[in-house]
Chain A
């Protein structure tokens, strides 16, 4: 009996020590085909919505702009505008709208995810409403 209890306690201690709460993780799909024949792709899809994220020197978000419009730093405002523009182009289920993100190089990555969250969808009453799931990064021009 005693040895069994010893082993059982050892097992218990092992499982208690290795126990870790797992936080659910999810993915955002980004499809970026290799850059090729830029002349052909220009006339195919409609213009993507360009979301530009500017950063201060320490990596904080300073402004979001959608196309030529400057929206400040509110992601809810970005979501509203994107939803409006998508509705103008035929509603969220039309797969034709693409969003192109152009963050500053030194912007903190969490703002990028926040922007992607804002344009991908919205959680209302525990349900997810999709807005746009075609997201890509704008090509960068390096000197």
Chain B
């Protein structure tokens, strides 16, 4: 009878395993996206079949996320409507200093499907009173 020595056993051929592992890494690396800073997991966007990703990114985006309880998330902080007004006023002063026209600002509203329509309208009216006029209501294509 022939026995394999222990030294032989330790020396497995790992080339193919490493190949596959590298392939997997390459796959996940390509798919990863780090642009999630402006999305919040507490928000479940409403679904619309017409929600197609825009061809060109909007100019000067200002992403306001409306939670189901009416609180608004802007730039990673939570505000009520009065607090949001102060924050946006501050932001617009900054834009003015940088000589960016207010009309080029696009207010992107990511509101929860279950929040009140009135809350979204409150946000829009607030922005309107601060001379912002381009709004985008965000929806997702399907549920996953």
Contact = CB atoms under 8 A, between A and B. Distances in A.
A100 to B, nearest CB: 12
B40 to A, nearest CB: 13
B113 to A, nearest CB: 4
Interface on chain A toward B: helix, strand, loop, or mixed SS?
mixed
Contact of A31 (B114, B134, B141, B144): B134
Contacts, number: 163
Interface residues of B, number: 53
A28 B76 CA distance: 23
B141 A28 contact: no
A27 B136 contact: yes
A26 B129 contact: no
Interface on chain B toward A: helix, strand, loop, or mixed SS?
mixed
Contacts of A44: none
A38 to B, nearest CB: 14
B117 A24 contact: no
A71 to B, nearest CB: 18
B53 interface: yes
B18 interface: yes
